[in-house]
């Protein structure tokens, strides 16, 4: 990133999520709109000015993933590979396009056993899923039904940590809630690849997820999806157990 002749930021794209395992970037093309297109040994990558990443390979119609050169003209992508010349018509979604966002499933591990909830089969608009205290590696998968985007969807994920039901309150829940001005804490992230990974461990609490898909044309789905995940605490971690211990000590 260069600004006013000064280098502000340097990033190695091969080390960024979603770009591995690129071994060879053969050519770079900058379209009139400012997007950067890379021809690589694993297909064509497009870097939009807003940070959106697009990826096209043989499953999207390229003759071969090993692309030597790429040219973008309006909404048409030309890619020259070892197997010939490919032409992809990248039609942007219409602003009135009514494509849907879906939270498809939630998975985690409990005592080294996989657990899977197929949320898309739920009859509830905002299903509430209870997860055991020992759950690890919690993941949420998403999908958007927009065929023009060829799977290159970005998801806006708003995660709101709420107070769980009173009987599952822990000292951490209350301290965080009070420290946030007696309000829920909220975090917004942009996800590519259709999967949110909460890491090895998610603290006990209630997490409300509001997911909205965005097409590669920049249009948002008018139909978001929601789910509430409640990670239950161990009984001995609740504030009620702590209060009971204090009362017994005072007797």
CB within 8 Å of 28: residues ≥ 6 apart: 36, 37, 38, 39
Per-residue pLDDT, 93 = 46
φ, ψ of residue 245 in degrees (nearest 5): -65, -40
State the average pLDDT over residues 175-183: 93
Instruction: Return the domain boundaries, the chain.
Output: 2-89, 101-239
State the average pLDDT over residues 115-125: 78
Per-residue pLDDT, 137 = 95
pLDDT band for position 119 (50/70/90)?
A: confident
DSSP string, 21-84: T---EEEEEE-TTS-EEEEETTEEEEE-TTS-EEEE-GGGT-S-S-EEEEEEETTEEEEEETTE
Q: Give the CA distances from residue 126 to residues 103, 155, 172, 209, in Å, rounded to whole numbers and listed in that order.
A: 10, 18, 25, 9
CB within 8 Å of 250: residues ≥ 6 apart: none
CB 39 within 8 A of CB 56: no
pTM: 0.66
Per-residue pLDDT, 57 = 85
Which superfamily, per CATH, for 101-239?
A: Immunoglobulins (2.60.40.10)
Per-residue pLDDT, 220 = 87
DSSP one-letter code for 166: G
The strand order across the sheet containing 43-47 reads 25-30, 36-40, 43-47, 53-56
Task: Look at residue 18 and tell me whether its pLDDT is greater than 60.
Answer: no
Q: What is the pLDDT of residues 125-170, one digit of tens each?
A: 788 999 999 999 999 999 887 655 656 788 999 999 999 999 999 9
Q: Give the CA distances from residue 115 to residues 15, 106, 121, 135, 201, in Å, rounded to whole numbers and listed in that order.
A: 31, 8, 16, 9, 15
């Amino acid at each position: 990133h260069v600004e006013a002749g000064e280098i502000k930021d340097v990033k190695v794209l091969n080390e960024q999520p979603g770009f591995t395992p690129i071994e060879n970037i053969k050519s770079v093309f900058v379209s009139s709109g400012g997007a950067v297109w890379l021809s690589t040994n694993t297909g064509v990558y497009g870097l939009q000015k807003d940070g959106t990443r697009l990826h096209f390979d043989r499953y999207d119609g390229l003759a071969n993933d090993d692309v030597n050169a790429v040219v973008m003209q309006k909404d048409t992508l030309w890619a020259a590979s070892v197997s010939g010349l490919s032409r992809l018509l990248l039609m942007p979604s219409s602003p009135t396009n009514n494509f849907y966002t879906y939270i498809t499933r939630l998975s985690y591990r409990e005592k080294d056993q996989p657990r899977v909830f197929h949320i898309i089969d739920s009859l509830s608009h905002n299903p509430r899923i209870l997860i055991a205290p020992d759950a690890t590696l919690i993941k949420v998968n998403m999908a958007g039904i927009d065929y023009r985007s060829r799977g290159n969807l970005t998801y806006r994920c708003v995660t709101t940590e709420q107070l769980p039901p009173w009987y599952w309150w822990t000292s951490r829940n209350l301290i965080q809630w009070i420290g946030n001005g007696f309000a829920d804490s909220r975090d917004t992230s942009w996800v590519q690849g259709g999967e949110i990974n909460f890491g090895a461990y998610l603290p006990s609490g209630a997490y409300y997820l509001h997911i909205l898909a965005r097409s590669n044309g920049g249009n948002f789905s008018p139909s978001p999806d929601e789910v509430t995940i409640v990670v239950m605490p161990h009984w001995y971690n609740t504030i009620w157990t702590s209060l009971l211990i204090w009362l017994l000590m005072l007797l």
